[in-house]
Amino acid sequence: MIFNTGAALLDAIVLSVVAKEEEGTYGYKITQDVRKGIDVSESTLYPVLRRLQKDDCLETYDKQIDGRNRRYYRITDNGKNKLEMYRNEWISYTEKINSLLKGGDNNE
């Protein structure tokens, strides 16, 4: 994709992916799900996960899988509120950009 993905959009995408699983999901799966929409590396996503955790949007817990600990991320109430804000902003933003790109008048 030729358009840059900024920090806020990455946060929104990660929160959306994590929110799909009530019990949470783990880092590798988050990476795979995000890659369905945008090309991003694990080294890009883990700092996003840490930032969202620091901002109280995600919480973590460890679960043993095949004798190894796997870190799971689960969205918090604060994260759900932030995701809702991102979704509302995205709708407004894309409507404006679509109007501009299609040559319409954006004075609504």
Please give the pLDDT value at position 3: 76
Place of tokens 């409507």: 95
Mean of the pLDDT values across residues 82-96?
A: 96
Q: Please check whether residue 71 is in contact with residue 62, taking contact to mean a CB–CB distance below 8 angstroms.
A: yes
Q: In angstroms, rounded to a whole number, what is the distance separating the alpha carbons of residues 95 and 101? A: 10
Q: In angstroms, rounded to a whole number, what is the distance separating the alpha carbons of residues 16 and 85? A: 12
Helix (H) or strand (E) holding 71: strand 68-75
Return the number of other C-beta atoms located less than 10 Å from residue 75's C-beta: 25
Quote the pTM value. 0.88
Mean pLDDT computed over every residue of the chain = 92
Burial of 33 (0-12, 13-18, 19+ CB in 10 A): middle
Residue 105: pLDDT band (50, 70, 90) is low
* pLDDT tens sequence across 39-53: 988 899 999 999 999
Please give the pLDDT value at position 58: 98
Q: Please check whether residue 49 is in contact with residue 14, taking contact to mean a CB–CB distance below 8 angstroms.
A: yes
Please give the pLDDT value at position 1: 64
Please give the pLDDT value at position 32: 95
